[in-house]
Amino acid sequence: MLLDLFDQLMQRIKANDKVHVSFCVSGIIGCLVVYGILQERIMQEPFEGEQFKYSLLLVLCNRLVTVLVAGGLLVAGGQDLAPVAPPQAYAAVSVSNVVATFCQYEALKHVSFPVQTLGKCAKMIPVMIWGTVIMRKRYNTKDYGVAALVTLGCSVFIMTGDVTSKHAGSNSSMFGVMLMVGYLAFDGFTSTFQDKLFKGYQMTIFNQIMYVQAFSAGFSTLGLISAGQFGDAISFVMRHPSALGSILTLSAAATIGQLFISHTIKTYGALLFATVMTTRQFISILLSCILFAHPLSMGQWVGTVTVFGALYYKTLSKKVEAPSAESSAKTVPDAEAGEAEKAPLVDNQK
């Protein structure tokens, strides 16, 4: 009954292309902006005077929600729930996925959200490096030029103003930057390794998502237990129900956002997706500066404009070079593949 109503609603939305595009764009930006705001709220703002310290619990809840949604979609679509690839294939991708996400959340304990978000814009660099090493891919001069501008912009941002989280020690910002480097390295590896590992297996995206994220949930649980944090983490959310509510809302927003991303790429191609994601990141930085009081210096604004200017140039130049290719594009280009992670359905998806 509910599925029939949803199908009818989607048919009406698809009947008007402008309404359909607006639906896709607002869905992606809305969900992922909520995801970003809640991420900063959970990791940087105290709950009744007590700071949340358990990044792996956030990863665990995120992955469990994703597994439930992916499994539900497989059942609703009448698809086989059995694994297609060997368990070690899912597990291998899952390990780098968990480490990348853990570094992303932990970084917020040491650097501000604008730094973390701007750092994510540089993920095209490790994706290009891993793509060259693992997949033997080649990139043109424009790709390297954009990568250089993004690196320059991030460097200017870090060197021309305060980048430390408001609750961190004065000397912890460099550790936060190193965590972001770890995030970028593992996230770029995840997307590239995933392409290579699952090549040749005839599986649906939801089958891959469900089993990769199921392993991720298992590894997150083992991490919490081995660190002696599982009981403390559960106790924290029991003492602060609002924290659990924020964690579950974050997980739902990320998961729904990835569904919007998948639908948008399938319908309109990677070009619209790349433009929307760049815009979303810029909006997230602006909202973080307003909501959580992160004043940026003039040099940091120059760095921000340099990074997003390079990304918009890359996107718009693709439109000029291949205007007919957009409508047939069905997957994210290598340089942007990592960004679909961010939402945890693909984490490159992700």
Q: Are 21 and 268 in contact (CB under 8 A)?
A: yes
How many whole angstroms separate alpha carbon 338 and alpha carbon 226? 29
Q: Which residues of the chain have pLDDT under 70?
A: 1-3, 135, 166-172, 197, 270-271, 319-350
The separation between CA 244 and the C-alpha centre of its own chain, rounded to angstroms, equals 20
Return the structure tokens found at 130: 């891993």
Distances (CA, A) of 312 to 271, 279, 306: 11, 9, 10
**Can you list the alpha helix ranges (DSSP code H) found in the chain?**
2-15, 17-44, 55-76, 87-107, 113-120, 124-134, 141-159, 173-197, 205-226, 230-239, 241-268, 270-291, 298-321, 334-337
Half-sphere exposure of 91 (CA within 13 A, CB side): 5
The pTM is what?
A: 0.78
Q: What one-letter code names the amino acid at 69?
A: V
